C-alpha cells in the first residue's frame, strides 16, 4: 500500500526569497540528463502508453558514440562533475572539463565502488585529451539523437513556462508562484514542502536524476538509503528554478556548497502525459483517450498543411466540425492556423510534432491533394 508524505523540505529564508530566480533559458546538458533518466533508468511504475514508444525509440537510436556516457554512470550513479549548467552544450562541457583532477578521481571511485572501472576513465583525471574528447563526442552524439530534433520545442516550452511563472509572481507573489510549480506542495513557516510517495511508491533518486555534492555526499531527493525526508537548507544562497520537459517523475536537485541550489522540476506538457486508460495498450488509443478520437486523428493528418475542407474530408465530418476541432487543438498549442485570402489552412506545431514523435501518430499519413 502506498502512503503519501513529505519527501522534500526546502528551508527558505527571507534572503533566499529575494534570490529566487527562474533560469532564462533551458540548459541543454541538464535536459539531456533528464531525458536519459526517463529513457534509460527504471521508472517508479510502468510507463504510460504514450511514453513507452518514446523510450523504445531512444534505446534503438542511441549511437555507439554515446556509449562512454554509460561507462560514466555505472548502476545509474552519475559522478557530480557531470552535473553542471550551461547555456550551450560546449559551455557545459567546458565547465565539466574545468573540474579538478582530484574531484574527477574521487567521484569515479565513488560511483564505481568495488567494481572494476574501464581503463580509459583513468585518462580523465590524468588530463588526457583523448579521454575527454570521448566524453565530449558521447554527449554530442546523445544530444543530436535525443534532443536536437525537439530542441526548438523545448525552447518554446521554456519561454511559456518562464512567462507563466513571471505572471504568477507578479499577480500573487513568489510564495504562490513556487507552490504553483508543484501541485500539492506548500510553503509555510519558511519551509517549502513537496509531497512524495511512502513505502513502495515513487523514488526521486533514480538514474541520472541523482545529484551529488563535490564532497561525494548524496544530493538525491526522496527516501534514499532509508531517509524518509530530504532536508535542503538554502541558507541565503538562493534558488534557481529550471523546468524540464523530459522527466515526469519528480524534482531533480543540484545542491553544491557555496552555490545557489538548482531545482529542476517537471513541467508540462513535455513527456509528462496522462497514463493510458486501464487495459488500453495501443498508443493511438491512449492518445484518443486524452484528446478524443477525432482530434487525435486530426493531429495525425495535420503533419502537413490542410485546408478546413480538406481536413473535414479526411475526418469525414462537416467543415464546421473540422474547424471546431482545429480550434481546440490550436488552443492547446498543437496546431497553427493561417489564412491566405479566403483559404484557411491548419498544420501541426512543433509541440504537436513532439507528441506525434512519441509513436502515437507514426502511421502513414495520406497526402492531401494539391489545391
Q: Please, are residues 26 and 158 in contact by the beta-carbon 8 Å criterion?
A: yes
Look at strands 252-254 and 261-266 and give their pairing.
antiparallel
Residues 6+ apart with CB under 8 A from 204: 7, 8, 196, 220, 221, 222, 249, 250, 251, 252
- Residue pLDDT, tens place only, 38-92: 787 666 566 555 577 778 788 888 899 998 988 888 876 778 888 788 888 899 9
Q: Please, are residues 270 and 48 in contact by the beta-carbon 8 Å criterion?
A: no
pLDDT of the residue at 356: 60
pLDDT of the residue at 152: 85
Q: Which residues of the chain have pLDDT under 70?
A: 1-6, 41-50, 76, 196-228, 249, 268-290, 353-371
pLDDT of the residue at 228: 59
pLDDT of the residue at 208: 39
Phi-psi category of residue 248: left, alpha or beta, with phi > 0 → left and psi -120 to 50 → alpha: alpha
Bond preceding residue 269 cis, omega within 30 of 0 = yes
- H helix or E strand, kind and range, residue 22: strand 20-22
Within 173-249, residue ranges assigned H as helices are: 174-181
Residues 6+ apart with CB under 8 A from 189: none
Cα torsion 30, 34, 40, 46 to 10°: value is 170
Buried b (16+ CB within 10 A) or exposed e, 74-111: bebbbbbbbbbbbeebeebbeebbebeeebbbbbbeeb
pTM metric for this prediction: 0.64
Q: Which of these, 83, 243, 103, 75, lies nearest to 165 by C-alpha position?
A: 243
pLDDT of the residue at 285: 58
Residue tagged 582530484 (cell numbers): 102
Amino acid at each position: 500500500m502506498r502512503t503519501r508524505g513529505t519527501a522534500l523540505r526546502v528551508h527558505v529564508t527571507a534572503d533566499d526569497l529575494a534570490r529566487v530566480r527562474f533560469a532564462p533559458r533551458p540548459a541543454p546538458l541538464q535536459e539531456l540528463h533528464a531525458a536519459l533518466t526517463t529513457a534509460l533508468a527504471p521508472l517508479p511504475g510502468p510507463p504510460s502508453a504514450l511514453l513507452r514508444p518514446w523510450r523504445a525509440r531512444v534505446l534503438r537510436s542511441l549511437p555507439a558514440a554515446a556509449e562512454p556516457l554509460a561507462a560514466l554512470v555505472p548502476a545509474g550513479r552519475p559522478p557530480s562533475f557531470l552535473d553542471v549548467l550551461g547555456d550551450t552544450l560546449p559551455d557545459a562541457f567546458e565547465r565539466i572539463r574545468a573540474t579538478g583532477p582530484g574531484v574527477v578521481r574521487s567521484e569515479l571511485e565513488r560511483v564505481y565502488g568495488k567494481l572494476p572501472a574501464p581503463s580509459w576513465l583513468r585518462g580523465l583525471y590524468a588530463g588526457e585529451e583523448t579521454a575527454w574528447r570521448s566524453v565530449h563526442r558521447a554527449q554530442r552524439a546523445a544530444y543530436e539523437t535525443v534532443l536536437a530534433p525537439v530542441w526548438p520545442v523545448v525552447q518554446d516550452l521554456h519561454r511559456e513556462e518562464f512567462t507563466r511563472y513571471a505572471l504568477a509572481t507578479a499577480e500573487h507573489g513568489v510564495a504562490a508562484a513556487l507552490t504553483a510549480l508543484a501541485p500539492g506542495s506548500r510553503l509555510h513557516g519558511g519551509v517549502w514542502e513537496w509531497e512524495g510517495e511512502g513505502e513502495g511508491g515513487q523514488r526521486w533518486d533514480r538514474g541520472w536524476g541523482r545529484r551529488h555534492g563535490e564532497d561525494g555526499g548524496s544530493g538525491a531527493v526522496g527516501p534514499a538509503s532509508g531517509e524518509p525526508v530530504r532536508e535542503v537548507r538554502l541558507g541565503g544562497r538562493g534558488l534557481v528554478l529550471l523546468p524540464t520537459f523530459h522527466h515526469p517523475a519528480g524534482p531533480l536537485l543540484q545542491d553544491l556548497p557555496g552555490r545557489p541550489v538548482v531545482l529542476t522540476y517537471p513541467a508540462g506538457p513535455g513527456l509528462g502525459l496522462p497514463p493510458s486508460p486501464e487495459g488500453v495498450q495501443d498508443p493511438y488509443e491512449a492518445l484518443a483517450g486524452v484528446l478524443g478520437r477525432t482530434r487525435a486523428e486530426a493531429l495525425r493528418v495535420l503533419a502537413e498543411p490542410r485546408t478546413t475542407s480538406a481536413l473535414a474530408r479526411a475526418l469525414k465530418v462537416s467543415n464546421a466540425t473540422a474547424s471546431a476541432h482545429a480550434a481546440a487543438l490550436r488552443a492547446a498549442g498543437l496546431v497553427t492556423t493561417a489564412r491566405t485570402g479566403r483559404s484557411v489552412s491548419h498544420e501541426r506545431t512543433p509541440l504537436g510534432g513532439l507528441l506525434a514523435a512519441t509513436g502515437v501518430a507514426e502511421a502513414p499519413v495520406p497526402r492531401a491533394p494539391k489545391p
